Amino acid sequence: MKNLLISVGILSIFLTAGGCKKTAAPQQAALPVNVVTVIEKEVNEWDEFTGRLDPVESVEIRPRVSGYITEIHFEAGAIVKKGDLLYVIDPRPYQADFDRAKAEVDRMDAQLKLAQIELNRAKELRDKNTISASEFDQKAATFQGAAAAKSSAEAAKN
């Protein structure tokens, strides 16, 4: 029994000592790696935001006359300066009105000249007492009316 105990003791020492032996770690498999060739190119970085923009200065454009727009001399959103031509309005109706007013001035000028001639003739006849005062006054009033009509036509032309 003594031998048995010694045998069991020696066996337990070997078993214990055998458990202390360093074992090699299991080999891990290599991780796959992708290989890429480096290229140089321009990268545009951008971000998207929601917001509201207010201009530093703004202008309200109102026409002084009405008409059809025939030309636009600016791009939407472009910077314009004071005095820049923005629109061209069809000039034909305005040219026609101007020509009509000019013709009216010429007509009134002709009537004024005729009234002046008739007034001068009436003065000569009055000096000779061959026309009545009423007829002379009528010629003078016609001359004054023609002068006023010419002034009115010139004002309308301008």
| Count of CB atoms situated within 10 Å of the CB of 145 | 13
Element (DSSP H or E) covering residue 72: strand 69-72
pLDDT of res. 85: 92
pLDDT tens for the chain, residues 1 to 158: 677 677 767 767 766 665 555 666 677 888 888 888 888 888 888 888 899 888 887 778 888 889 999 999 999 888 888 889 999 999 999 999 999 999 999 999 999 999 999 999 999 999 998 999 999 999 999 999 999 999 999 998 88
Backbone dihedral angles phi then psi of residue 155, each to the nearest 5 degrees: -65, -40
Count of H-run helices and E-run strands, the chain: 3, 2
pTM metric for this prediction = 0.52
Residue carrying structure tokens 């036509």? 153
Q: What are the structural domains of the chain? A: 92-157 (1.10.287)
pLDDT of res. 157: 85
pLDDT of res. 112: 95
- Kindly give, in sequence order, each residue whose CB lies less than 8 Å from that of residue 58, ignoring residues fewer than 6 positions away: none
pLDDT of res. 152: 93
- Quote the CA–CA distance of 139 and 133 in Å, as a whole number: 10
CA atoms within 13 A on the CB side of 84: 12
What pLDDT, in 10s, does the model give residues 51-70? 988 888 777 888 888 999 99
In the numeric block, which tokens belong to residue 122? Answer: 């009436």
- Quote the CA–CA distance of 147 and 140 in Å, as a whole number: 11
